[in-house]
A and B are shown apart, each in its own frame.
Chain A
């Protein structure tokens, strides 16, 4: 087990990259803690698979270094990195039994037969396949096969990290939740560093201690689910995380006040912002009022169960509001106010800190 350091890492698939656009991964510098559960979250094509492949050794980065602990593994082949990986669709050895599948990585490393038997038994119990150990892997359902892949990923105790590449894509929805819970439990039990690639925010937020959000080849934020929710570092994070995402309004920032379409909104802190400035506010922290605040045109109310989503427009921008079940929504509610403590200020899409 080891911490993973990405030192000035960048990657371009073209031999002679000229502009920023040629880079699949833009320069980044991160340290991933040993034993952490990380989720790599982003839309498809954002570079998360490239990053995963660099960590697993399938792709050699064109710039920078990858360290496992203190060892430089930039040029080390996959086998030497001592990692495990679970793929998007089940990769099992069809002609082997479930038992042999689970034992395969251990046997290849010349482990003692007694240890292998014990370890395979343990893992089979974890993934709930004890009764199928002597069946051939061919002919099992996709769910069961993916469980074997997960099991094979976890059977080795000494791995530096376990990588998951959207492992639940082929799994039935009701099984997804179960497997994710199992993974979480396994992480607590085994303490491996786990890196989980997904484009599904629910998966990322429920699985990971730290979520790494990627956008256009850049890590835009690395933080706990709370941080991503409360203080999105980039407008993309605000928009991508949460349902619906963060509301963004163009605003002129003047010290502790934001001016939107002639209305002054208090920010609680002093900001010195230049460039294109916006304020971001989560739908959870907007209240409808009958007269104070920003003028608001209500379009539609959707009942989604535990709460309602109010959709409308303010200052020419679509605004979503989450209203509790008890709250009354009337035609006279023509204005909105923002919870000042929950407002984030962005300059050119990046969040800036205010001074008290």
Chain B
């Protein structure tokens, strides 16, 4: 769509600016402020330069948390995106069942994060949980509070349970928008099921899949509540992701300076990766409107 050049449009954006400035810029400045100062007592700060950043960047703790975080995001994307597409292709297209399936699938998305954690915390327990009990009964030694592998397994399956529907619903919306004529043409051309997916569905899904990957990447990178409720970051530090580590530092130990430096690095990493996604996405948008 051709847009009119009109700088008065700023007035329409002003409320958002004021609000977001209040709830984002001021807090962010506080963080920056802390990140370059050190403190001995309650309100006694002095300039610390970039030392917190140097510490943070060279700290093993941040590196480990970052690698865990990246590993986690990669694993859940690798599971949720293909699985979501697969589910979307199997969803009923219309009628009563379609509505019912949509509602049931959206259900996990509307459950408060800590309740999601609680559900899986209970579900995985050997004494009172169906999953834990069943695995025990099958003779599999499963205990997410002791074994790091089991803890990872629980956290990942919980995230898959929680968010695959989001990817599936996005992909479903994308599939629904493909005109029937494409499928008919493919039948006439004797295209295989794989060709239909590769040359019709996947290209048309590109846009929504980018949204899905962007949302899932951002949210998985910020994940806090769910694993915190289930494992508390343990056993040891094995499921301590970036946000969990940050909150431990900031509120548990009150290491404001390092925590602030950590925050800024954390935010910049997300920003950088998201910016890459966003650029790719807007470029695709342009290609679509020829």
- Cα A109 to Cα B203 in complex, Å, equals 23
Q: Is the CB of A93 within 8 A of B200?
A: yes
Least CB distance, A354 to chain B, in whole angstroms: 47
Does A88 touch B at the CB level, under 8 Å?
Answer: yes
Of B129-137, B191-199, B237-245, the stretch lying at the interface with chain A is B191-199
- Cα A78 to Cα B180 in complex, Å, equals 14
Does A45 touch B at the CB level, under 8 Å?
Answer: no
Q: Is the CB of B190 within 8 A of A105?
A: yes
Q: Is the CB of B287 within 8 A of A89?
A: no
Interchain CB contact (< 8 A) of A109 among B190, B200, B202, B204? B190
Q: Is the CB of B189 within 8 A of A108?
A: yes
Q: Find chain A residues with CB under 8 A from B202 CB.
A: 95
Does A138 touch B at the CB level, under 8 Å?
Answer: yes
- Cα A108 to Cα B181 in complex, Å, equals 18
- Cα A80 to Cα B160 in complex, Å, equals 41
Least CB distance, A319 to chain B, in whole angstroms: 44
Does B59 touch A at the CB level, under 8 Å?
Answer: no
Known: A105-B190, A108-B190, A108-B192. A91 touches B199 (CB 8 A): no
Query: Which chain B residue shows the least CB distance to A138?
Result: B287
Least CB distance, A30 to chain B, in whole angstroms: 23
- Cα A93 to Cα B192 in complex, Å, equals 14
Q: Find chain B residues with CB under 8 A from A79 CB.
A: 187-188, 190
Query: Which chain A residue shows the least CB distance to B180?
Result: A58
Q: Is the CB of B188 within 8 A of A95?
A: no
Does B184 touch A at the CB level, under 8 Å?
Answer: yes
Q: Is the CB of B190 within 8 A of A139?
A: no
**A59-107: which residues lie under 8 A (CB-CB) from chain B?**
77-79, 83-85, 87-89, 91, 93-96, 104-105
Q: Is the CB of A56 within 8 A of B184?
A: yes
- Cα A58 to Cα B180 in complex, Å, equals 11
Q: Is the CB of A78 within 8 A of B184?
A: yes
Q: Find chain B residues with CB under 8 A from A83 CB.
A: 188
Interchain CB contact (< 8 A) of B191 among A56, A77, A108? A108
Known: A85-B184, A138-B287. A94 touches B189 (CB 8 A): no
| Tally of contact residues, B, Cβ under 8 A | 19
Q: Find chain B residues with CB under 8 A from A104 CB.
A: 189, 191, 199
Q: Find chain A residues with CB under 8 A from B290 CB.
A: 138-141
Q: Mark A128-161, 1 if CB is under 8 A from B, else 0.
A: 0000000000111100000001001000000000
- Cα A88 to Cα B181 in complex, Å, equals 9
Q: Is the CB of A89 within 8 A of B203?
A: no
Query: Which chain B residue shows the least CB distance to A86?
Result: B185
| Tally of contact residues, A, Cβ under 8 A | 26
- Cα A84 to Cα B188 in complex, Å, equals 6
Query: Which chain B residue shows the least CB distance to A153?
Result: B188
Q: Find chain B residues with CB under 8 A from A77 CB.
A: 187
Q: Find chain B residues with CB under 8 A from A78 CB.
A: 184, 187-188
- Cα A32 to Cα B149 in complex, Å, equals 70
Q: Is the CB of A91 within 8 A of B181?
A: yes
Known: A93-B199, A138-B287, A139-B287. A87 touches B187 (CB 8 A): no
- Cα A58 to Cα B204 in complex, Å, equals 23
Least CB distance, B46 to chain A, in whole angstroms: 59
Least CB distance, A98 to chain B, in whole angstroms: 14
- Cα A93 to Cα B189 in complex, Å, equals 11
Q: Find chain A residues with CB under 8 A from B204 CB.
A: 94
Q: Find chain A residues with CB under 8 A from B181 CB.
A: 87-89, 91
Q: Is the CB of B189 within 8 A of A152?
A: yes
Interchain CB contact (< 8 A) of A95 among B184, B191, B199? B199
Known: A56-B184, A139-B287. A95 touches B203 (CB 8 A): yes
Known: A138-B287, A139-B290. A91 touches B185 (CB 8 A): yes
Does B97 touch A at the CB level, under 8 Å?
Answer: no
Q: Find chain A residues with CB under 8 A from B199 CB.
A: 93, 95-96, 104
Q: Is the CB of B203 within 8 A of A94?
A: yes
Interchain CB contact (< 8 A) of B189 among A95, A105, A138, A140? A105
Q: Is the CB of A85 within 8 A of B200?
A: no
Q: Mark B198-228, 1 if CB is under 8 A from A, else 0.
A: 0110111000000000000000000000000
Query: Which chain A residue shows the least CB distance to B189?
Result: A105
- Cα A152 to Cα B191 in complex, Å, equals 13
Q: Please list the residues of chain B having a beta carbon within 8 angstroms of any beta carbon in chain A.
A: 179, 181-182, 184-185, 187-192, 195, 199-200, 202-204, 287, 290
Question: Can you name 28 A-B pairs with beta carbons within 8 Å?
Answer: A56-B184, A79-B187, A79-B188, A85-B185, A87-B184, A89-B179, A91-B179, A91-B181, A93-B200, A94-B204, A95-B199, A95-B202, A95-B203, A96-B199, A104-B189, A104-B191, A104-B199, A105-B188, A105-B189, A105-B190, A108-B189, A108-B192, A108-B195, A109-B190, A140-B290, A149-B185, A152-B185, A152-B189
